[in-house]
Amino acid sequence: MEASPETKQPEKEVIGVFVCHCGTNIGGVVNCEKVAEIASQIPGVVVSKDLKYACSDLGQEEIRKAIKEKGLNRVVVASCSPRLHEYTFKNCVEGAGLNPYFMHMVNLREQCSWVHMKEPELATGKAANLVKMGIERSRLSTALSPREVTVEPSCLIIGGGIAGIQAALDIGDKGFKTYLVEKEPSIGGHMAQLDKTFPTGDCAICILAPKMVEVARNKNVEMLSYSEVVDIQGYVGNFTVKIRKKPRYVMEEKCVGCGVCAEKCPVKVPNEFDMGFGSRKAIYVPFPQAVPLKYTIDRENCLHFKTGKCQLCVKACVNEAIDHKQEPEEIELKVGTVIVATGFDVYTPTRKGVYRYWEYKNVITALELERLINAAGPTGGHLVRPSDGVEPQRIAFIQCVGSRNLKIANKYCSRVCCMYAMKNSQIIMEHSPDAEIAIYYNDIRAFGKGFEELYHRVREDYGIEFIRGRPAKLTKDPVTENITIRAEETLLAKITEREFDLVVLSVGLIPNPGTAPVQKMLSLPVSDDGFLAESHPKLRPVETAIEGVFICGCAQGPKDIPDSVAQAKAAASAASTLMIKGKHIVEPLYANVNEELCVGCGLCAELCPYHAIEIAEKDGQSKAVVTEALCHGCGTCAAGCPQHAINQLQFTDQQLMNELTAALAAKNSAGGE
Amino acid sequence: MGEVEKVFISGLREKLIEDKVITEQDLVPEFASEIIRYGGKDVMTCLQCGNCTGVCPISLKIEYKTRTTIKYCQFGMKSHTLSTRWVCATCYRCYEHCPADLNPAELMIALRHIAVREGIVPPFVKTAASNLLRYGLTVKPDEAMLKEREQLGLPQAAITKPGWERVKKDINTIIETTKYDRLLGITNKEEGE
């Protein structure tokens, strides 16, 4: 082995190297004994061992013993990804009295053995080089101490659907101040629009309304309906939130929700809550169970705003609650934690598709059907078809519309469509037992509790027909407006054509348009599918990459009501954990500005994705100032600084150069071999 | 036993004994990778929704089904798939509609490549290819056709035009260089017919 690259203070570092087999994960490919042997010859290395499982109690004990016996002041653990066990090993060395930031991890599993499974010799060489690089880098490690920030005991919940409501109830009940922000005039979200819920058939609004009322009554929950979050600044424990309360033109404290104003209002417009089938007035509540039960004037359609004349509602209101001059109001809040529960929207079939949703009146979406079969809906629960108002007898459901389709870039399964199609066909059959229902599906996904039973029930009790095939063509009879579906019944390998009175498209779920602005304000990562990304798909399901910010419900991905509620409770619990402790430890891996070199050009402030850098005056000169709690240690500023004035702690320029020099030295020697 | 046979099985005996089970001997396990090598890269991705069959103009008319062909390929039933894949018109409608963004038409072309290399070439393809080699056209205008053209006042067919010999020679060079003639087993000798 050649001499390692120049080392600044070889006499000072006492290095221990531990190469982990990870069972056969690493040891099955990489010759760990050889790697440890190579490392042992590097100056400064006094212990170099291979361990079966470094993370096990035995392995950790081995590391602690070496630190104590040999007086190690640097520990290099060559094992898995730091994401998995960095914390374990930091704890381990701290237990032996060493500052945890003197522990450096080298990834031999994800970045070596798993990707080079078929080339064990080359993998061993690479592993040795990676370890050398790690050793050289660890020489310049410095002792760091984590910092503590206080956590404001209050929580902001964005989105008043079932997930947001549940999270607000849980946190409010724990005694923390909670702000529930909803952009619509009423909380309730999409669940309020549904008729019944699968698989049990509970009426959606009947189980939701009590929760809506409860959250309104909860002393700790402050409901901010018809409001939007416009700005969020700050960091875990200390967020400053700006909320814009849109004008209802009705004073909330005076309105009692009697509805006399709406009776008098002369303007009738389609009700968005009923998917445009029913109508509402220009002064309205979206649905009778709305919370808060306060009327709202829809500015676009109100005659007063259009002509300046009509004052009928003002005259009708005995409480003098109506004020056409109301202005938007801005509220500023300080909160310690944030829960994003911005939910979903349903996919709107495009003109590109073959289902002709835009053209054929008798092709409707599932959410429209929900309103048409809802007892509180525009038809009082009596299903009629849009073209002629006649009760349809032959009904087809088409599954996977806007889901599992690469042509429209929605690759994912929306997880609820199979079940709601079955649930809705059951409701239709209960109302009109003579109806004939066919479900065109690709695969049936009935994975949840009680789902398979519902799948069985709709076939056994109602004779719902399942046709396995994706419809290829829909045609409309010009006279009757009936729809003919052509599809291959793939299980028969025959092309079939059948006529239906009504076709329901089981549309998938997409991220709510309200999510994007919130995502930008908080710099939240987004998954491939466009929904918000959780910190870890299995083990940190409601946490995000931004500390103190949690996600739940359909904002994170399509899911049904039980899953949304469970996730809301998880997010509430995670947020409460922070608030109960009242303080939070922040990793000290932030950017450090060398003020002598900094010229205050401001490039770093522009580059920072977390708004953590500001340019401030110091002794008459502009200098970059890092808000450490906001800094995520991504290193963008350090790489961008033209003056090399910013150092990323644990990733300093010198450390990276050391690592690089070791890599290049290794490459040169490898070339000779 | 004799009576049972007479009543229930009678003449079917031979048919009943014949095995209707597809066994491993009927399958070619590397078939999918072979198809992928010839450009049908989507073969294993198909999840059999049947949209391609529904939009296929050929599947509407005959017992060919786009989706089942893909299934046979996934399964490795090579002998079954190689004979009839020439019915695909490669109109690419299946590709246009496939929700998984696959291209079944390319798969059909890959099957043709494989079939030809296995020596399975339908007569009509052979005829068209031989015509190309001999006359520079896939459809050779015969005496009757030439006469009709003349009567209708249409211009001369290409093969009777002066200078066509050079075009033919060029086509021949391409065919010989690419070994297309040997691949299809065709010659430009008339007596070969």
- The answer to whether B62 touches B76, Cβ cutoff 8 Å, is no
3-state secondary structure of A493: coil
- Out of 3.40.50.300, 3.40.50.2000, 3.50.50.60, 3.40.190.10, the CATH code matching A154-342+514-581 is 3.50.50.60
Q: Is A402 on the interface with B (CB under 8 A)?
A: no
Instruction: Express each pLDDT in B156-189 by its tens digit.
Output: 887 777 888 898 899 999 998 998 888 888 877 7
Mutate to test the interface with B, among A354, A488, A495, A505 (most CBs of B within 10 A): A488
Residue of chain A nearest B94, judged by CA positions: A472
Residues of A in Cβ contact (< 8 Å) with B68: 493
Mutation site for A-interface testing, chosen from B42, B46, B53 by largest number of A Cβ within 10 Å = B53
Query: Is the CATH number of domain A344-510 1.10.3720.10?
Result: no
Confidence of residue A494 (pLDDT cuts 50, 70, 90): very high
User: Which residue type sits at A559?
Assistant: K
Neighbouring-strand partners of residue A242: A231, A332
The model's pTM is 0.85
* pLDDT, position B2: 67
* Predicted local distance difference test score (pLDDT) of residue B192: 44
- Provide, for chain B, the percentages of residues in helix, strand and coil under a 3-state DSSP scheme, each rounded to the nearest 5: 60, 0, 40
Q: Give Cβ neighbours of residue A12 (< 8 Å, ≥ 6 apart).
A: A73
C-alpha B111/C-alpha B60 separation (Å) is 21
Task: Decide: A276 and A221 in contact? Cβ < 8 Å.
Answer: no
Contact call for B49 and A442, based on CB within 8 A = yes
On the question of pLDDT at A391 being above 60, the answer is yes
Q: Per the CB < 8 Å rule, is A490 touching B49? A: yes
Contact call for B50 and A405, based on CB within 8 A: no
Give the residue carrying structure tokens 């079955």: A422
Distance CA A384, CA A379 (A): 8
**Which distant-in-sequence residues (6+ apart) come within 8 Å of B162 by Cβ?**
none
Contact between B99 and A443 using a beta-carbon 8 Å cutoff: no
Q: Helix, strand, or coil here: A20?
A: strand
Chain A contact for B41 (CB, 8 A cutoff): no
Domain ranges of chain B: 24-117, 123-192
Tens digit of each residue's pLDDT (9 = 90 or more) over A61-77 = 999 999 999 999 999 99
Q: Chain B partners of A489 at a C-beta cutoff of 8 Å?
A: 50
Shortest distance, CA B51 to any CA of chain A (angstroms): 5
Sequential DSSP letters for B53-115: HHH-TTTTTSS--HHHHHHHHHHT-HHHHHSSGGG-----HHHHH-TT---HHHHHHHHHHHH
* CB A432, CB A391: distance < 8 Å: yes
Instruction: Give the pLDDT band (50/70/90) at residue A628.
Output: confident
**Does the beta carbon of B91 lie under 8 angstroms from any beta carbon of chain A?**
no
Is the separation of the CB atoms in A52 and A19 below 8 Å? no
pLDDT at residue A313 tops 90: yes
Q: What is the pLDDT of residue B10?
A: 64
Size of interface A-B (CB pairs under 8 A): 59
Who among A407, A468, A495 is closest to B101 (CB)? A407
Q: How confident is the model at residue A620 (pLDDT cuts 50, 70, 90)?
A: confident
Of B49, B54, B99, nearest to A473 by CB-CB distance is B54
Asked whether residue A672 carries a pLDDT value surpassing 80, the answer given is no
Is the distance from CB of A660 to CB of A627 less than 8 angstroms?
no
How far, in Å, CA of A467 to CA of A464, rounded? Answer: 10
Per-residue pLDDT band at B19 (split at 50, 70, 90): low
Q: Is B49 on the interface with A (CB under 8 A)?
A: yes
Range from A137-146, A154-163, A345-354, B121-130 that averages highest in pLDDT: A154-163
Facing residue for A495 by CB, picked from B59, B97, B101? B59
pLDDT tens profile B55-106? 999 999 988 899 999 999 999 998 888 876 788 999 999 999 999 999 999 9
Answer whether B53 touches A (CB < 8 Å): yes
Same fold, A154-342+514-581 and A344-510: yes
DSSP of A159-224: --SHHHHHHHHHHHHTT-EEEEE-SSSSS-GGGGG-SEETTTTEEHHHHHHHHHHHHHH-TTEEEE
Find chain B residues with C-beta within 8 A of A488's C-beta.
50-51, 53-54, 59, 65, 67
A197 near A370, Cβ under 8 Å?
Answer: no
Q: Which DSSP category does A651 fall into?
A: B
Q: Where does the pLDDT of residue A669 fall: very low under 50, low under 70, confident under 90, or very high at 90 and above?
A: low
**Distance between CA atoms of A181 and A226, rounded to whole angstroms?**
8
Q: Is B47 on the interface with A (CB under 8 A)?
A: yes
Q: Flag whether residue B50 sits within 8 Å of chain A, measured between CB atoms.
A: yes
3-class secondary structure, A392: coil
- Nearest CB among B55, B65, B99 relative to A407 is that of B99
CB atoms within 10 A of CB B110: 22
Which residue does chain B place closest to A468, by CA atoms?
B49
A404 touches chain B (CB under 8 A): yes
So what's the ipTM on this one?
0.81
Domain spans of chain A, in order of start: 15-144, 154-342+514-581, 344-510, 591-648
Hey, are the CB atoms on A488 and B67 less than 8 Å from each other?
Answer: yes
Lowest pLDDT segment from A1-10, A209-218, A528-537: A1-10
- Count of CA atoms in the C-beta half-sphere (13 A) of B67: 27
Q: B52 to chain A, minimum CA–CA distance in Å?
A: 8
Q: Taking CB atoms and an 8 Å cutoff, what residues of chain B touch A443? A: 47
Name chain A contacts of B65, Cβ cutoff 8 Å: 488, 493
- The pLDDT of residue B1 is above 80: no
CB B98 to CB A468 under 8 A?
no
With an 8 Å Cβ cutoff, is B89 touching chain A?
Answer: no
Q: Which residue of A has its CA nearest to B61?
A: A495
User: Which residues of chain A lie closer than 8 angstroms to B50, CB-CB?
Assistant: 468-470, 472, 487-490
Q: What class has domain A591-648?
A: alpha beta
Subunit contact B53:A468, Cβ cutoff 8 A: no
What pLDDT is recorded for position B190? Answer: 61
Distance CA A315, CA A261 (A): 8
* Bridge partners, residue A268, by sequence: A281
Packing angle, helices A162-173 and A204-217, rounded to 10? 40
pLDDT at A636: 93
Put simply, whether A488 touches B (Cβ < 8 Å) is: yes
Q: Does the beta carbon of A445 lie under 8 angstroms from any beta carbon of chain B?
A: no
A396 near A438, Cβ under 8 Å? yes
Would you call A432 helix, strand, or coil by DSSP? coil
A353 in B contact zone (CB under 8 Å): no
Number of residues assigned to chain B:
193
**B60 vs A: CB within 8 A:** yes
Whole-Å CA distances, A234 to A238, A670, B136: 6, 49, 77
pLDDT the model gives residue A188: 96
- Which CATH code fits A15-144? 3.40.50
User: Position of tokens 């968005």?
Assistant: A272
- As a whole number of angstroms, the distance between CA A520 and CA A524 comes to 7
d(CA A576, CA A388): 54
Q: Which of residues 172-231 of A touch B (CB under 8 A)?
A: none
Whether residue A49 contacts residue A17, with contact meaning beta carbons closer than 8 Å, is answered with: yes
Nearest CA in chain A to B102: A406
Q: Omega into A328 within 30° of 0, i.e. cis? A: no
Task: State both tokens at A137.
Answer: 């880098």
CB contact under 8 A, B54 and A487: yes
DSSP H or E stretch at residue A447: none
* Candidate from A443, A472, A493 with C-beta closest to B55: A472
Min Cα separation A348/chain B (Å)? 16
Q: What percent of chain B has pLDDT over 90?
A: 40
What's the distance, CA B71 to chain centroid? 17
Residue B54 to residue A471, Cβ atoms within 8 A: yes
For residue A344, what pLDDT is reported? Answer: 97
Comparing CA positions, the residue from A199, A236, A56 lying closest to residue A560 is A199
pLDDT at residue A645 is higher than 60: yes
Q: How far apart are CA A271 and CA A269, in angstroms?
A: 6
The residues facing A222 across adjacent strands are A179
Summarize pLDDT for A359-385 with one digit per residue, the tens.
999 999 999 999 999 999 999 999 999
Whether B62 contacts chain A with CB within 8 A: no
**Residue in A with minimal Cα distance to B100:** A406
What pLDDT band is residue A582 in, cutting at 50, 70 and 90?
very high
Question: What mean pLDDT, rounded, does chain A reach?
Answer: 93
Q: What is the pLDDT of residues A263-312, one digit of tens each?
A: 999 999 999 999 999 899 999 999 999 999 999 999 999 999 999 889 99
Contact criterion met (CB < 8 Å) for A495 and B47: no
Question: For residues A103 and A98, what is the distance between their CA atoms, to the nearest angstrom?
Answer: 9
Whether B51 has its CB under 8 Å from any CB of chain A: the answer is: yes
pLDDT exceeding 70 applies to what percent of chain A?
97
The CA distance from B90 to A403, in Å, is: 27
CB-nearest to B54 from A405, A407, A488 is: A488
CB contact under 8 A, A472 and B59: no
